[in-house]
Structure 1
Amino acid sequence: MLQLQHISKVYHTGDQEFHALKDISIRFRENEFVSILGQSGSGKTTLLNIIGGLDQYTSGDLLIQGKSTKQFKDRDWDSYRNHTIGFIFQSYNLIGHQTALSNVEIAMTLSGVSKAERKKRAIEVLERVGLKDHLYKKPSQMSGGQMQRIAIARALVNDPKVVLADEPTGALDSETSVQIMNLLKDIAKERLVIMVTHNPELAQKYSTRIVQVLDGNILSDSNPCEPTEETKQVDIQFTKTKMSFITALVLSFNNLLTKKGRTLLTAFAGSIGIIGIALILALSNGVSDYVKKVQEDTLVSLPLTISEQNQSNLLATSPDLSEKPYKDNHELGINTVLTNLLKKQIGKNDLASFKTYLEEHASKVESLTKDIRYRYNLQPFIYASDTSNGPKSILPSTLADEVETANQTMKGYLQNLNYWSELSSDSSMLESKYDVLEGRFPQDKSELVLIVDENNQISDLLLYSLRFKDPSELNDTKKLDELSSQTYQYSDFIGKTFKAVVNTNRFVKENNLWLNKIDNASYMKTQIENGLQLKIVGVLRQKDGTSSGVNTPSGGIAYTSALIDYTSEYIQNSDIVKEQEANQNLNVFTGKDFAKDPKPFSSENLTEEEKIQLAKMTPEEQAQYVQQYNDNSASTYEENLAKMGVINKSKPAAIELYTSSFQQKQDLKEFINAYNTAKKEAGEDDKVLAYSDDIQSIMSSITTLVGVVTTVLVGFVAISLIVSSIMISIITYISVLERTKEIGILRAMGASKKDIRRIFTAETAIEGLISGVLGITITFLATFPINAIVAKMTNVGNVAQLPIEVALILIGISIVLTMLAGLIPSRIAAKKDPVESLRSE
């Protein structure tokens, strides 16, 4: 049945070679009891491992029923061991956390035998070896002879053609050894039994054939098997072995039960991240619900905003002014939002007419409002005063470009960073909203104030935005950690200076064309140095009980409307604006008339003079010229003026109307509705205003903010998930080390590398499930005291609510993360050499 042809086995240790087997050739009959005798190190165990497919020969060939195994792959050897070979080891090699029955059954789980059939066959073979009354005992509860009988039963349960026994009586007393040898002799009547032993007496008494081995060579063979006829090669097809995931789960679960304390501690550590995320989501869900309920009780000081372009609030338009008879007839009417918008330019408000109306009814407006602000599409360009390291734009902020981060959420946040706002020009409004901590309110266009929050704190990003701190520190975790313990004095800010560069000073006329030099560091450095100096003259804190609107600063730097007036006047008197206004058909950026059908730059469209001028430019100037040409070619006269910063004081971009109460705001809405009605009756539908109430938009923003904060917090807490995953990876690796012998046992029974990976993947999945369930359970229990404390402190109930679907998702995430954490340890386990694994203790 088995034939070894010129088998050699060489082990490499560093630069040295050790020849364990040297040109071994031997045949075995289908049923005989062969004893292989030899001293320690003679190569007898190596020979047995090669016959069993646990170890691979270096040269030669192993024939199974005449078929060569030279082309065998791992799965072929796995199937060969599972279906053809039964191993009996000197040290029993039983899985300690399994019962006798389970130890025997496990070999059949790899063969695809049904559960009922597995149990039946395992009981039968255990009865055969005399262990009928010990089916559910674990190895630690049994004697050495009983454990060896379990090993024999396990070797026989798959009805193998070959039983390999490695010193089966080496750890047994004399009486038990005789029992085991008689059992093996009985087994040899129906199959091939090959036993390695160093006891010649046992070999002589029980074996039908003795093979002596010394230094890797066969010295003698008492009953050699000679071929009587030419052996025919048989095409052997082994059934593929595979352990089901359920079996892997059972194995791993039983193993974890032997380490209950460690398993629970590991699960608890892994659940900390889940607890944190679950609590954040529970609070976020409750807070979102609460925010909706407090809309009528908070944010009274938010303005009612009317914008020239109201496209972001198309559905929040002015109310329908028609009669509503259906209201009392239990009928449904139609709010003609879309119809009204289609009848005029979408989202376009005539604020010039409304500004005139407000000025004509100043006394009425004064009684309805606390303050009125007219906003224009003009923002100053502000730079750091220190230009030694080049121009540093503070408004608009270039912080996003200076910070290297892969966090796209943070990148987007930095790109939209703006801590600069315009203060109200009404002194009573300022005094009602702010306390002066040091210094004074600004009185001049060049004066600024720092506004801190109610806790006398400023944002760390404000420090970096203002260049109080080096933006490169945002990439240094240690410095960021140190920042929280730092404090500043008011005097650190008062007197701090910046430079304002007027919008039109960015443009320079070259070759009869106006070019944008904002990217020219040398030019901008000069403009900054010659710009208007701005200085912080006071530190303000918002008063308790007040609230900030969209454009009302609650923290940051604020400038006066005088700065806008100064900038606007300077722009209006600039050469570029005068030239553009004097030539309304000519685009001063391109030198051509405003195109009705704009086309991209082409030298063919240039005049000879323009071509000559272009040729005189440097390559950089030519590239800039082409870029600006394309950017400006599609512009209109109005767009050019807007690019220069020109504003019309009679045509604001937005009007903000501040009130002192909801009732006053309602009265203001009726005042605006009266204006709309008058315009509608006069046939001036294009002057009917569409306005929005910022309470609604701000509440929406708060809800969004809650979502963003939740995301950021979840991101931070998720770090603990990563840490716990690393910890579980380490624990799994420790489990691999502890179960090394089990790995060798399973490989000896035919388990593939995938099966081994599956076992440890199953173990991590169980850990993940326990972690997830434990985390959700703790979170659920924690919501009770949290809700009780919050209710006592704020009279708000059920602020922590965790939806069931979120809980299930978090449990799933826990399982997935732990399984991912177990990938590397499970691969390490799968790659372990089965022979080395069996030798481990």
Structure 2
Amino acid sequence: MAFLELKNIYKSYYLDKEEFPVLKGINLQFDRGEFVSILGESGGGKSTLMNIIGGLDRNFEGEVLVNGKILDHKKEKQLDSYRRATVGYIYQSYNLISHLTVLDNVLVALDMTTLTKEERRKRALELLDKVGLSEQVKKHPNHLSGGQKQRVAIARALASDPQIIIADEPTGALDAQNTKEVLALLDEIARDGKLVIAVTHSQEVADNGTRIVHLADGKIDGDERLRPVYPIPEDPTEITPRVLPAMASYRTAFKHLTYNFWRNSLIMLGTAIGIFAVLLFSGLGNGINGYIQNQINSLANPQAITVFKNTTGKKMTQEQIQSSLGQTMAANPQSMTISDHNIDRLRKLDNVSSVQPGIMVSAFQLDYNGKKQSGTSLSTWSKAITSNSIKQGHKPKNGEIVLTKQQAIQLSSAKNYKQMVGKTIHLSFTWIDGNNNPVPVSGNFKVAGITEGASAGTSITYSTMRALLQKANAATAANFVTVNVTNLDNVQGVANKIDNLRGSNNKRILGAITVGSILKTVNTYVSLASTVLASIAGISLLVSALMIIVTMYMSVSERTKEIGILRALGERKKDIRRLFTSESVFIGLFSAILALLIVAVVTVIINHALYGLIKYNIVQITVGNVIFAIVIAIVISFIAALLPARRAANLNPIDALAAD
């Protein structure tokens, strides 16, 4: 039984609807150990016949049998496996991959075998030594002569130990000496028990084989046996094929990327600039949010909720509570008192650590050495105010008062206001008694400290305020309460519960004000601004994606012949797609790394320049920002490569091999 058999092979090409027959009923049988020359003039159908034998041409009529089994040319996966395991190609134009070294050009075929990495390298070196190129393994094809290139092609064709070697005009571009050496190598391959089929138009070349098949006008018009078939070795070598591992595609993609590094570096720089801009604006947003939060938290405790009486019975926003507070307090302070019963209800809420009643006076007067100063808000000290707000002195104790910086300046001078700490001043205001009648209240207090900031005002302790009011027979009921929450995450939840507390008439009785919600509002605006800026910067990422698409399409055009070579070696469409998408992903990954380096340098410069002014690092790149940058770069580059990679995978291997 013949190893390879062709039955009734017909092949035609069509121009519009006109048929041009190329093969007109080819019937041939081949055995291993033969060196068969297919001889004929150009246009006689030799190359078409070789493409059918090699599993590249799928559109023909007839049957191809290998070892007695029909090779179904309609099944692409079966053809891929056939080329991978059974066929090796030697081309007239060598068809070496330019960005790979001599050694890598041979290894690309061995990647589709089950040999280990060390075994693949050893076999590649042995084959290159066999063809006389052991000193050239690190060179690229453009540094080799024509004869050397053909030897590399022979070594690659033999690498996976195929049973059929197809040589298409293997000596067409060689001088006499190299022709002689290449023919000797092909004869030696046949002696090893392989089937060598050489396509040629030279009678002199054909005479070196064991058999000549003459092809003319698409028909066999001669089949001459020159020498007997070489015997098949008793212990033939056998290398098990496999589909190409993903890692091999990644290695090849990386080698091509580095081979064209300077061109690709421009693409990476453009992509990196877009990622850098997004990172910088995100970092600025983080920094500004952090700075505002730090400033607010330094003056007010974000875990404290200030509770006031809801005089409307309806749901009120914090802005509405704050806007009506001063007016209601001045016009009808009695209406703002909070009963002990409702204070107890606050204590019973979940996630509340403590409750502090407080008293707030809407208008008061300070006297010192004949100077008077009027104020609009005197309140008792609570945990809602942090000690950080006191810039000179300390928080008040019994019999002490804390002034604002502006009050201290008006009672002394801008130059000596700090000396007010420790001085005694007179405080007076009007309050109400139990019958809602006005009562004058006054007392002397020692200045404990001076505060700065809008949220910190004039303060005395709660016990001091009650004693002062009791002395004047004024009402001592609390008109605000400070509720301290166990942790920051629970603040809004507790505030919502407070807002929903209702009286016997089912109306809302209390309103909550939190620093966290104010901070959240500010941060929302800052985040919105930084998102808009980052989105504008993201436009450059779209431009980068277009650059990658164009680059990948150019790469497909430039590497069309390489695609044909890889398909002829047995790589699948999937492998070709992965080759181009992985190279694009490498571009995205390196772009992200470059962007991170740029943003790290710029961040240090900006933070160093501004730290002396605001005492805060205004650009803060988080781990999340870094992960986002890497992920978005990879995703964009992967998506950008999908169409070019699909186009590459769908190329006809025959057309790809014929590309210039």
Give TM-score scaled by structure 2 length.
Answer: 0.69
CA distance in 2, matches of 1:104, 1:279: 46
The answer to whether the aligner puts 1:712 opposite 2:532 as a matched pair is yes
The answer to whether the aligner puts 1:798 opposite 2:617 as a matched pair is yes
Q: Which runs of 5+ in 1 are unaligned?
A: 227-237, 323-334, 343-356, 371-659
Alignment of 1:371-410 (within 5 A): none
Asked if the contact 1:368–1:664 (Cα under 8 Å) also holds between the matched residues in 2, the reply is no
Higher RCO, Cα 8 Å, sep 6+: 1
CA distance in 1, matches of 2:603, 2:345: 44
Measured after TM superposition, the shift of residue 30 of structure 1 is: 1.8
Question: Aligned pair in 2 of structure 1 residues 120, 363: CA closer, same or farther (>3 Å)?
Answer: closer
Give the match for residue 195 of structure 1.
Answer: 198
Measured after TM superposition, the shift of residue 672 of structure 1 is: 12
Give 3-state SS (helix, strand or coil) of 1:133's partner: coil
Question: Aligned pair in 2 of structure 1 residues 217, 338: CA closer, same or farther (>3 Å)?
Answer: farther
Aligned AA (2:549): S
Give 3-state SS (helix, strand or coil) of 1:278's partner: helix
Alignment of 1:304-453 (within 5 A): 307=310, 308-309=313-314, 338-340=346-348, 369=376
Alignment of 1:414-493 (within 5 A): none
Give 3-state SS (helix, strand or coil) of 2:656's partner: helix
Give the match for residue 633 of structure 2.
Answer: 814
Give the match for residue 697 of structure 1.
Answer: 517
CA distance in 2, matches of 1:733, 1:137: 28
Asked if the contact 1:284–1:706 (Cα under 8 Å) also holds between the matched residues in 2, the reply is yes
Give the match for residue 465 of structure 1.
Answer: none
Measured after TM superposition, the shift of residue 785 of structure 1 is: 2.2
Question: Aligned pair in 2 of structure 1 residues 136, 278: CA closer, same or farther (>3 Å)?
Answer: same
Alpha-carbon displacement from aligned partner over 1:650-699 (angstroms, at most 9, x marks no partner):
xxxxxxxxxx954547589999999783689xxx9989964444654322
Alpha-carbon displacement from aligned partner over 1:485-511 (angstroms, at most 9, x marks no partner):
xxxxxxxxxxxxxxxxxxxxxxxxxxx
Asked if the contact 2:577–2:645 (Cα under 8 Å) also holds between the matched residues in 1, the reply is yes
CA distance in 2, matches of 1:15, 1:217: 23
The answer to whether the aligner puts 1:143 opposite 2:137 as a matched pair is no
Measured after TM superposition, the shift of residue 806 of structure 1 is: 2.3
Question: Aligned pair in 2 of structure 1 residues 57, 693: CA closer, same or farther (>3 Å)?
Answer: closer
Measured after TM superposition, the shift of residue 364 of structure 1 is: 6.3
Measured after TM superposition, the shift of residue 35 of structure 1 is: 0.6
Asked if the contact 1:27–1:225 (Cα under 8 Å) also holds between the matched residues in 2, the reply is no
Alignment of 1:479-628 (within 5 A): none
Question: Aligned pair in 2 of structure 1 residues 154, 240: CA closer, same or farther (>3 Å)?
Answer: closer
Asked if the contact 1:767–1:818 (Cα under 8 Å) also holds between the matched residues in 2, the reply is yes
Give the match for residue 648 of structure 2.
Answer: 829
Give the match for residue 160 of structure 1.
Answer: 162
Measured after TM superposition, the shift of residue 12 of structure 1 is: 2.6
Give 3-state SS (helix, strand or coil) of 2:171's partner: coil
Give the match for residue 560 of structure 1.
Answer: none
Give 3-state SS (helix, strand or coil) of 2:651's partner: coil
Measured after TM superposition, the shift of residue 729 of structure 1 is: 1.3
Give the match for residue 65 of structure 2.
Answer: 63
Question: Aligned pair in 2 of structure 1 residues 336, 272: CA closer, same or farther (>3 Å)?
Answer: farther
Give 3-state SS (helix, strand or coil) of 1:172's partner: coil
Question: Aligned pair in 2 of structure 1 residues 53, 362: CA closer, same or farther (>3 Å)?
Answer: closer
Asked if the contact 2:39–2:200 (Cα under 8 Å) also holds between the matched residues in 1, the reply is yes
CA distance in 1, matches of 2:173, 2:140: 19
CA distance in 2, matches of 1:294, 1:737: 58
Asked if the contact 2:84–2:569 (Cα under 8 Å) also holds between the matched residues in 1, the reply is yes
Give 3-state SS (helix, strand or coil) of 2:296's partner: coil
CA distance in 1, matches of 2:75, 2:551: 32
Alpha-carbon displacement from aligned partner over 1:258-288 (angstroms, at most 9, x marks no partner):
2121111000111122111110121112112
Alignment of 1:165-176 (within 5 A): 165-176=167-178
Alpha-carbon displacement from aligned partner over 1:350-406 (angstroms, at most 9, x marks no partner):
xxxxxxx99xx9876996549xxxxxxxxxxxxxxxxxxxxxxxxxxxxxxxxxxxx
Give the match for residue 424 of structure 2.
Answer: none
Asked if the contact 1:28–1:225 (Cα under 8 Å) also holds between the matched residues in 2, the reply is no
CA distance in 1, matches of 2:605, 2:157: 58
CA distance in 2, matches of 1:207, 1:725: 54
Asked if the contact 1:249–1:762 (Cα under 8 Å) also holds between the matched residues in 2, the reply is yes
Asked if the contact 1:754–1:830 (Cα under 8 Å) also holds between the matched residues in 2, the reply is yes
CA distance in 2, matches of 1:706, 1:319: 37
CA distance in 2, matches of 1:677, 1:149: 103
Measured after TM superposition, the shift of residue 188 of structure 1 is: 1.3
Name the structure where strand makes up a greater proportion of residues. 2
Asked if the contact 2:128–2:134 (Cα under 8 Å) also holds between the matched residues in 1, the reply is yes
Asked if the contact 2:293–2:519 (Cα under 8 Å) also holds between the matched residues in 1, the reply is yes
Aligned AA (2:247): I
Question: Aligned pair in 2 of structure 1 residues 805, 662: CA closer, same or farther (>3 Å)?
Answer: closer
Asked if the contact 1:155–1:163 (Cα under 8 Å) also holds between the matched residues in 2, the reply is yes
Alpha-carbon displacement from aligned partner over 1:569-600 (angstroms, at most 9, x marks no partner):
xxxxxxxxxxxxxxxxxxxxxxxxxxxxxxxx
**Residue 16 of structure 1, aligned match among 18, 23, 30:** 18
Give 3-state SS (helix, strand or coil) of 2:477's partner: helix
Question: Aligned pair in 2 of structure 1 residues 337, 47: CA closer, same or farther (>3 Å)?
Answer: farther
Give the match for residue 787 of structure 1.
Answer: 607
Question: Aligned pair in 2 of structure 1 residues 139, 787: CA closer, same or farther (>3 Å)?
Answer: same
Q: What is the aligned length? A: 505
Give the match for residue 406 of structure 2.
Answer: none
Asked if the contact 1:320–1:336 (Cα under 8 Å) also holds between the matched residues in 2, the reply is no
Give the match for residue 279 of structure 2.
Answer: 278
Give the match for residue 120 of structure 2.
Answer: 118
Give the match for residue 729 of structure 1.
Answer: 549
Give 3-state SS (helix, strand or coil) of 2:113's partner: coil
Question: Aligned pair in 2 of structure 1 residues 667, 368: CA closer, same or farther (>3 Å)?
Answer: farther
CA distance in 1, matches of 2:523, 2:243: 52
Give the match for residue 252 of structure 1.
Answer: 253
CA distance in 1, matches of 2:201, 2:245: 39
CA distance in 2, matches of 1:319, 1:113: 87
Asked if the contact 2:316–2:511 (Cα under 8 Å) also holds between the matched residues in 1, the reply is no
**Percent identity over paired residues:** 38
Measured after TM superposition, the shift of residue 822 of structure 1 is: 0.6
Measured after TM superposition, the shift of residue 121 of structure 1 is: 1.1
Give 3-state SS (helix, strand or coil) of 1:708's partner: helix
Q: Which runs of 5+ in 2 are unaligned?
A: 229-238, 301-305, 323-335, 351-358, 366-372, 378-452, 470-474, 481-501
Question: Aligned pair in 2 of structure 1 residues 679, 756: CA closer, same or farther (>3 Å)?
Answer: closer
Measured after TM superposition, the shift of residue 170 of structure 1 is: 0.6
Moved more, 669-678 or 260-269: 669-678
Alpha-carbon displacement from aligned partner over 1:437-458 (angstroms, at most 9, x marks no partner):
xxxxxxxxxxxxxxxxxxxxxx
Asked if the contact 1:7–1:57 (Cα under 8 Å) also holds between the matched residues in 2, the reply is no
CA distance in 1, matches of 2:227, 2:525: 85
CA distance in 2, matches of 1:59, 1:37: 22
CA distance in 1, matches of 2:44, 2:654: 17
CA distance in 1, matches of 2:363, 2:120: 96
Measured after TM superposition, the shift of residue 207 of structure 1 is: 1.3
Give the match for residue 242 of structure 1.
Answer: 243
RMSD (Å), alpha carbons: 3.9
Measured after TM superposition, the shift of residue 726 of structure 1 is: 1.9
CA distance in 2, matches of 1:669, 1:19: 107
**Residue 89 of structure 1, aligned match among 88, 91, 105:** 91
CA distance in 1, matches of 2:580, 2:272: 20
Give TM-score scaled by structure 1 length.
Answer: 0.55
